[in-house]
Structure formats: structure tokens, C-alpha cells
Amino acid sequence: MSLKLGNLRVESPSFQHLGRMPKRHAGDADNLSPPLEWSGAPAGTREFAVLCFDPDAPRLDGVTHWVLYGIPSNVTSLPEGEGADAYTGGVNITGKPGYLGPRPPPGHGAHHYYFWVFALDGELGLKPGLDRPQLMDAIKGHVLEQARLVGIYER
């Protein structure tokens, strides 16, 4: 079960909240984004944004693995391996669009991968290529609700 912040809820058929992510979602394996499903969006939701972030990475600002936005309000899931051309793609830590699977340093311990879904109050028309901080700045004041699912991966 995902952490619930309000009525919005996000889950994945691939792993449970705080459960181990399958290797097929890792950067050193198939690098497929996990399927995500959400429900309970508040009234007035006009679009969604999705982020995947690793705060455990040995970097001051962690590592951004996925930035996707401009997802219409009638969409309530993303299939496994959703491509970079689906909806509006932001950039991951490499500066490229698309999902970048977990690949923590060997022996660094378990890392937590936060998959955030944000319900937004407008169709913001954001340009492609935003990174995580830029997206967070752009959606400030437009987030009706947010929910997260945390997966764990270790090498």
C-alpha cells in the first residue's frame, strides 16, 4: 500500500510500498519504468505530473530518475516501460528525457525510490525538458494533492 496524503493514492503491480523493486526496473537491467496506477484524485484535477527521485544517492541533491508531466486528468495509470514520448517529458539526472532505473553504487546499501504523483488544478502547458527543481517551481500553487509510492533497490 502506498503512503496516502489525502485521498489520492498511487500503487504499482510490480512492488508494494517500501518493497523491493524488481530488477527489470533497474538501470543495470531492462531499465523499464514500473507500471503505476493512481486513484482518488480530488475534484478539479486537470492534469497529473509524475516524478521518481532517490534521496539516498551520494549527492547533495539526490538523483532524479524520471520527470513526466502534462498527463491528462482522465489518465489513471502508466504502463510498464512508458516511453519518453508519452505526455510531456522532463529530464532525469543525465539531462535526457525518460526513465532512468535504479543503479545505486554497489555496497552503498538500500536506496529508496520515491514515485510521486501530483494532481494539478490546471492544464499548465509546460514546455518539455524541465528538470525536477524546475517542475517543482512550475507546479507550486497548483498542487491539489500528492501521493507517493516508495520502492527499495540495492546492488
The mean predicted confidence, pLDDT, of the chain is 94
The larger pLDDT score, comparing residue 91 to residue 85, is at 91
Q: Is residue 108 part of a domain?
A: yes
Query: 1 falls in which pLDDT band (50, 70, 90)?
Result: very low
pLDDT score of 3 more than 50: no
Q: Is residue 1 part of a domain?
A: no
pLDDT score of 24 more than 90: yes
How many distinct structural domains can be found in the chain? 1
Where helices occur in 20-152 by DSSP H, the ranges are: 132-139
Domain containing 127 equals: 9-153
pLDDT score of 83 more than 80: no
d(CA 139, CA 137): 6
Assign residue 46 the CATH number of its domain: 3.90.280.10
DSSP H or E stretch at residue 47 = strand 47-54
For CA atoms 80, 100, 22, 150, the dihedral sign is: negative
pLDDT score of 4 more than 50: no
- Cα dist from 96 to 52, 85, 130, whole Å: 14, 12, 10
The larger pLDDT score, comparing residue 120 to residue 1, is at 120
pLDDT score of 100 more than 80: yes
Q: Is residue 3 part of a domain?
A: no
Q: Is residue 127 part of a domain?
A: yes
What confidence score (pLDDT) does residue 86 get?
A: 83
Residue with cell 510500498: 17
Whole-prediction pTM: 0.94
